[in-house]
Amino acid sequence: MEDYLVVGRIVRPHGLKGEVAVEPRTDEPDRRFAVGALLGAQRNRPGAREAGSLTVRAMRWHSGRLLVTFGEIADRTAAEEARGTVLVVPVDPDESPEDPDEFYDHQLIGLAVEDADGARLGTVTAVAHGGGQDLLHIDVDGTEVLYPFVAALVPLVDVPGGRIVVDDRPGLLRPDAP
C-alpha cells in the first residue's frame, strides 16, 4: 500500500509558455522535480477540474524560485488554471527521509501525543505546512488543536513507538491548564 507525499504547490504562471512557479514542500526538490518525474496533481479550488498527473519536462531555479515546465501545461491559460494545484508523489509507507530529525506526514498521523510524564493528551490527525513553521493537528478529546511542530515544543518523535512527546505549555493543548 502506498501513501502520498506532498512535494509542492503550483503558485502562479511564469511567462506565456506554460511554465509555473512552484512552492516546494520537500527537502529534495532536485530529486522530486527531476526531468521525467511523474507527479500526482490534486486541485484544491472549487470548480477546478481534476488534473490527474503531471510530467516534469524542465526544471530550473530563477531568483530563488523553482520554475517547472510540465508536459500537460502548454500555455499561460493552462498555467493559470493549475494555480493552487498540490503536487504529490507516491511513497512507500516504510520509507523514511535520510535525516533522522525529519519525518513524512504519513509517519506522524495517528501517533499518540504525550506529555513528558507519559500522560496521553491526544492524537495527531494531520500536518499543516505553513510559511513560518509546520503545525500538528491534534485531536484533544474531540477538539482539533493546532500545535507548533518545532524542536523546543516537540522534543521527541518516536515513530516506531507510536508516540510524540510535547512540552505542553499553558494554553497550547489545554486552554484551561494553569
- At 69-84, the pLDDT tens digits run 999 999 999 999 999 8
- How far apart CA 158 and CA 111 sit, in angstroms, is 9
- How far apart CA 126 and CA 103 sit, in angstroms, is 13
Residues near 98 by Cβ (< 8 Å), separated by ≥ 6? none
Tell me the pTM: 0.64
- At 123-157, the pLDDT tens digits run 999 988 766 678 899 999 999 999 999 889 999 99
- How far apart CA 89 and CA 25 sit, in angstroms, is 12
Hey, how many other C-beta atoms are within 10 angstroms of the C-beta on 20? 25
What is the pLDDT, as a whole number, of residue 128?
82
Residues of the chain predicted below pLDDT 70: 1-2, 44-51, 93, 130-132, 174-178
CA dihedral defined by 12, 14, 20, 22, rounded to 10 degrees?
-60
Full set of structural domains in the chain with CATH:
3-91 (2.40.30.60), 105-165 (2.30.30.240)
Closest-CA residue to 87 (of 2, 18, 23, 15): 23
Average per-residue pLDDT in the chain?
86
**3-class SS at 112?**
strand
Output the nine-digit C-alpha cell for 50.
Answer: 481534476
Specify which residues 88 forms β-bridges with: 6, 40
